[in-house]
Structure 1
Amino acid sequence: MGARCSKLSLCLWSTHLKSNLNDASDLENGTEDLPAFTEFSLDQLRAATSGFSTDCIVSEHGVKAPNVVYRGRLQDDRLIAVKRFNRSAWPDPRQFLDEAKAVGQLRNERLANLIGCCCDGDERLLVAEFMPNETLSKHLFHWENQPMKWTMRLRVALHLAQALEYCSSKGRALYHDLNAYRVLFDQDGNPRLSCFGLMKNSRDGKSYSTNLAFTPPEYLRTGRVIAESVVYSFGTLLLDLLSGKHIPPSHALDLIRGKNFLMLMDSCLAGHFSNDDGTDLVRLASRCLQYEPRERPNVKSLVTSLAPLQKETDVPSYVLMGIPHGTTSPKETALTPLGDACSRLDLTAIHEILEKIGYEDDEGIANELSFQVWTDQIQETLNSKKHGDAAFRNKDFVTAIESYTQFIEGGTMVSPTVFGRRCLCYLMCEMPQEALGDAMQAQVVSPEWPTAFYLQAAALFSLGMDNDARETLKDGTFLEAKKHSRT
């Protein structure tokens, strides 16, 4: 039977909110209805996903590429999520099967559990429970109807800590690239940790993304993930929950040392949390982000710290989240012309669009002519930008890089558009790593600027990191929709 890949109203495996449960073993209750780990045939999964149709891709706007996740339905009507790996990700079939079977033995209400796999020729696929209500990234950073409530943020933190404690108790203490995309919401609105990050070779042998600002320092030194690295990543997620933004840990720690706790907090939360609770969560994040791994707490102490902070434990998560019970999230928004050009890595089209929109989204430069008197330094900085713009228009990308660099290093003005333009120049000059750095810097300067996310996606595609690129495209699309809903 082929898959019915429209957004579906219910997952088959119902769970219930048990926020008062702190013992990892207790959280195995409620998973009895899950099937035993199964080795599926390729034909079964092909049928379940309508031949791996682009219409069944969960979040990639119909773009077909390696390592994507598909929504599917088995012949017994079970809904599933199928992750299809690049064939080079797991060259050893025995290693893949052993890893999948080991992760598949885990069963917990805090996990989006792995229920099967497929290893057929060059094909490597994982099969997990389907979570219909999107990711933490979507609900925290790109909300449409309401920001995530403080009570729900505390619940997310506890559920995630409980998931990590359970995995650690079962000998799976390592989790690769823990981030807001790895936290999923089930049909009841409860947060679950994706099982895919538990695979030792997840992310094609790369344990962390190219965003070095959020990478545990010991991983940068050794290239190895240790249990304390997972706690560090948990700390970055606590920062996400506190701020509603993706703040680099170094910047957050500077604010914490300066006792500027309130500057970390999401402005949407004003008046909705106690200072004591906020301080407790900030301090816990600070402990998780210590440079020396031995100075970070273990996962059990994370649960111990977070359990007393929980509020409204009798209120279902779907109520706190504002999710109509039994329905899935809204339809995805189509890509904009710039998003589409970045998805295709059409650099010529990107150049045309950036040239056309100019500096219309750039408040820092748009008002430059309103000042009557300029110092020589400011005038020189502006001249560098103008020279860069002229070179950019004439497609002299090497000169544009030089001029925009002079503007940026001048330090008197900050322009996300300049970072965006230099990003494209780097892509034109086959310097994708530098391009990614500029696109990320544009996001730091202007956190809700969709163009910064689109350009990050283009750079990630150039680096061969297609999964990250498609997720970033989605972020840009949500921001674009949010921006237009306000106008």
Structure 2
Amino acid sequence: MGCQGSKLMPCCWDSQFKAAVLEAPDIENEENNEVDNVPAFREFTLEQLKNATSGFAVENIVSEHGEKAPNVVYRGKLENHRRIAVKRFNRMAWPDSRQFLEEARSVGQLRNNRLANLLGCCCEGDERLLVAEYMPNETLAKHLFHWETQPMKWAMRLRVVLYLAQALEYCTNKGRALYHDLNAYRVLFDEDGNPRLSTFGLMKNSRDGKSYSTNLAFTPPEYLRTGRVTPESVIYSFGTLLFDLLSGKHIPPSHALDLIRDRNLQMLTDSCLEGQFSDNDGTELVRLASRCLQYEPRERPNPKSLVAALTPLQKETEVPSHVLMGIPHSASFTPLSPVGQACSRGDLTAIHEILENLGYKDDEGVVNEVCVPLSSIFTFFFFSLTFNCNSSSLIATI
């Protein structure tokens, strides 16, 4: 990591602090990002979630501070093999069960592929739990601050902030503009390496709890004054994330702005990004982050403006996210063919009927009405798999 950072152009640094809110064109991204393969929101029993998480086993904890966290997140698997993330709130965090259910159901109506969608909840006795899609490829904090094999590429960092802005725009359009404690741990990566915003942050950690659990140096100034989170507070937190992605470090906003005023941009830029972006692109991202961190909430851009500003900056858009991230990628599973379904059940009668309907004959040239030789079954089975599978993997058809 001994390389020098890009030298961003120090133009218009002072003007950005007084700039008006961007007027964004009407960009429609909701239709492209809607999902139809996520089940409807439902209520789970506590027993179902205990079974899914092996009794809330410690080894299934995936939340940042482990079992010491006030609200612990577990990974689990339902009976239908769908993987889930389960957030178990501290006891009495939501004493009013009706209020908890209303909030959860409201968030559970959201369905978008920029979100780790909320699948359900559980409200039994003092227990309050949320169930969301499980994202297997860690958090933004892991890939940005604690990477092991390779630092995140510039093109991927730009994709992260665009997808995040699109998630916020979608939530705003659906009447859920408030997001509590937006930070790098709230951004998760799915099986394709695409970033998604956790829906857990669309609900408070408790009915009367704090909206921000991070260091006070990163909280919006109006929250420190009033204790209330507003849509503009979310944009402030988005600005801190922009500086996280630019620097590769979790820099307090006040320090980042001081570096900009002093034109000490080398300290602000991740040295691992040397040669990956132009001065103009770096300047634009710094300018946008600075606008998000305006002291006056009304001077910050809205999510639609963020999407409009970030879209033209995107690089390597044809490269899949998992390639940019350098993470393994599982082939997408396709539906089982009829013979595949029969074989998965071990249903020889169904396999025989399929072969007979296809006019399959034995070695003597006649249809065997009694049984089909086992070797023939496997021959046909593997032929069917090979014929039906896509180019990615034989197992995809199974």
Category of TM-score, reference length = shorter chain: 0.7 to 0.9
Q: How does 1:59-78 map to 2 (within 5 A)?
A: 59=63, 63=67, 66-78=70-82
Q: Tell me if structure 2 keeps the 8 A contact 1:153–1:241.
A: yes
Q: Is residue 170 from structure 1 mapped to residue 174 from structure 2 by the alignment?
A: yes
SS at match of 2:185: coil
Q: Using the alignment, how far apart are the partners of 1:179 and 1:220 within structure 2?
A: 17
Q: Is residue 277 from structure 1 mapped to residue 281 from structure 2 by the alignment?
A: yes
Identify the match of residue 24 of structure 1 among 25, 29, 36. 29
Cα offset, 1:61, TM superposition: 8.1
User: Match for residue 198 of structure 2?
Assistant: 194
Identify the match of residue 235 of structure 2 among 231, 235, 246. 231
Q: Using the alignment, how far apart are the partners of 1:242 and 1:261 within structure 2?
A: 10
Cα offset, 1:326, TM superposition: 2.4
Distance 1:204-1:54 versus aligned 2 partners, 3 A rule? farther
Distance 1:38-1:146 versus aligned 2 partners, 3 A rule? same
Q: Is residue 113 from structure 1 mapped to residue 117 from structure 2 by the alignment?
A: yes
Q: Is residue 240 from structure 1 mapped to residue 247 from structure 2 by the alignment?
A: no
Which ranges in structure 1 are unaligned for 5 or more consecutive residues?
1-20, 328-487
Q: Using the alignment, how far apart are the partners of 2:321 and 2:206 within structure 1?
A: 29
Distance 1:53-1:233 versus aligned 2 partners, 3 A rule? same
Q: Using the alignment, how far apart are the partners of 2:191 and 2:248 within structure 1?
A: 23
User: Match for residue 317 of structure 2?
Assistant: 313
Q: Using the alignment, how far apart are the partners of 1:274 and 1:183 within structure 2?
A: 26
Q: Using the alignment, how far apart are the partners of 2:221 and 2:103 within structure 1?
A: 26
Q: Is residue 57 from structure 1 mapped to residue 96 from structure 2 by the alignment?
A: no
Cα offset, 1:202, TM superposition: 5.0
Q: Tell me if structure 2 keeps the 8 A contact 1:87–1:124.
A: yes
How far does the alpha carbon of each residue in 1:188-227 deviate from its partner, in whole angstroms, 9 at most, with x for none?
A: 0000000000014559611112511101000000000011
Q: How does 1:48-447 map to 2 (within 5 A)?
A: 48-59=52-63, 63=67, 66-201=70-205, 205-326=209-330
Counterpart residue type for residue 310 of structure 1: Q
How far does the alpha carbon of each residue in 1:315-352 deviate from its partner, in whole angstroms, 9 at most, with x for none?
A: 0000000001129xxxxxxxxxxxxxxxxxxxxxxxxx
Q: Using the alignment, how far apart are the partners of 2:127 and 2:175 within structure 1?
A: 27
Identity in percent: 78
Q: Using the alignment, how far apart are the partners of 2:121 and 2:28 within structure 1?
A: 29
Q: Tell me if structure 2 keeps the 8 A contact 1:176–1:202.
A: no
Q: Tell me if structure 1 keeps the 8 A contact 2:181–2:214.
A: no
SS at match of 1:46: helix
User: Match for residue 40 of structure 2?
Assistant: 36
Cα offset, 1:254, TM superposition: 1.2
How far does the alpha carbon of each residue in 1:344-372 deviate from its partner, in whole angstroms, 9 at most, with x for none?
A: xxxxxxxxxxxxxxxxxxxxxxxxxxxxx
User: Match for residue 8 of structure 1?
Assistant: none
- Runs of 4+, deviation exceeding 6 Å: none
SS at match of 2:304: helix
Figure out how many residues of one structure are paired with residues of the other and give that number: 306
User: Match for residue 407 of structure 1?
Assistant: none
Q: Tell me if structure 2 keeps the 8 A contact 1:136–1:185.
A: yes
How far does the alpha carbon of each residue in 1:248-307 deviate from its partner, in whole angstroms, 9 at most, with x for none?
A: 111111111223333211011111111100000000000000101011111110000000
Counterpart residue type for residue 174 of structure 1: L
Q: Tell me if structure 2 keeps the 8 A contact 1:261–1:282.
A: no
TM-score by length of 1: 0.61
Q: Tell me if structure 1 keeps the 8 A contact 2:223–2:229.
A: yes
Q: Using the alignment, how far apart are the partners of 2:299 and 2:118 within structure 1?
A: 32
Distance 1:239-1:125 versus aligned 2 partners, 3 A rule? same
Counterpart residue type for residue 153 of structure 1: R
Cα offset, 1:60, TM superposition: 5.8
Q: Tell me if structure 1 keeps the 8 A contact 2:166–2:307.
A: yes
Q: Using the alignment, how far apart are the partners of 1:64 and 1:77 within structure 2?
A: 28
Q: Tell me if structure 2 keeps the 8 A contact 1:132–1:185.
A: yes
Cα offset, 1:23, TM superposition: 2.3
SS at match of 1:126: strand
Q: Tell me if structure 1 keeps the 8 A contact 2:27–2:304.
A: no
Distance 1:27-1:69 versus aligned 2 partners, 3 A rule? farther
Larger Rg: 2
Q: Tell me if structure 2 keeps the 8 A contact 1:104–1:115.
A: yes
Q: Using the alignment, how far apart are the partners of 1:45 and 1:110 within structure 2?
A: 25
Q: Using the alignment, how far apart are the partners of 1:236 and 1:137 within structure 2?
A: 13
Q: Using the alignment, how far apart are the partners of 2:207 and 2:245 within structure 1?
A: 24
Distance 1:234-1:203 versus aligned 2 partners, 3 A rule? farther
SS at match of 2:95: coil
For the aligned residues, what is the CA RMSD? 1.8
Q: Using the alignment, how far apart are the partners of 2:65 and 2:29 within structure 1?
A: 37
Cα offset, 1:57, TM superposition: 1.0
Cα offset, 1:22, TM superposition: 5.6
SS at match of 1:181: helix
Q: Tell me if structure 1 keeps the 8 A contact 2:204–2:210.
A: no
Q: Using the alignment, how far apart are the partners of 1:23 and 1:115 within structure 2?
A: 25
Which ranges in structure 2 are unaligned for 5 or more consecutive residues?
1-25, 332-398
